[in-house]
Amino acid sequence: MASGVAISDEVITHFEKIRVRLQGSEEKERLKLVIMRLSEDQKNIIVDHQASLKVKDVCDEDDVFKKVVSMLPAKDCRYALYDCSYATKESVKEDLVFIMWAPEDAPIKTKMVYASSKGALRTKLPGLKFEWQVNDPADKEKCALVEKLGGPSLVKSLEGKPL
């Protein structure tokens, strides 16, 4: 890995868990958002359990998208896997979106480590269709994600809310 940062086994385990589609009463236990961060010693990418969300954590939210992006810290970088639900003209879809959050107010060294570690992390998370680079609050808007998912001419709703 270019940055020398290792990826913890727990990250891979959570990736496998968020990919699983649970049905019935277990569906609320399904992961909706997995946030990953550098460990305190900056040697490993680990799961940030305090910022991750399950479906049950967002089922009563008026705006699930707003809740998801609110979990990204204002002045520090993060990686995230977001199980995004959206509707197109043809069907309702669920896709995993890989998010690279690197706000302008984050320390430059931290942004450099996250940027240089991203490629190695992505190789450990195969099959991701969408990547969303977010650098400032304007990027955290629904319209930016909708563009990644195919644009407003294709996407008609996000997390059950019409656009």
Spell out the domains of the chain, with CATH numbers in brackets: 6-162 (3.40.20.10)
List alpha helices for 106-160, DSSP H. 108-124, 142-149
Q: Would you say 88 and 150 are in contact if contact means Cβ atoms under 8 Å apart?
A: yes
Are 84 and 96 contacting, i.e. CB atoms less than 8 angstroms apart?
yes
pLDDT tens-place string over residues 14-69: 999 998 776 666 888 889 999 999 999 989 999 999 999 999 999 888 888 889 98
Token pair for 77? 């970088």
Query: What's the number of CA atoms in the CB half-sphere (13 Å) around residue 39?
Result: 13
The residue whose two tokens read 């959050």 is 101
- Which of 31, 39, 38, 37 has the alpha carbon at shortest distance from 14? 31
Stretch 141-146: mean pLDDT: 88
Average of pLDDT values for 116-132?
92
Alpha carbons 25 and 35: distance in angstroms, whole number: 24
Q: Are 42 and 113 in contact (CB under 8 A)?
A: yes
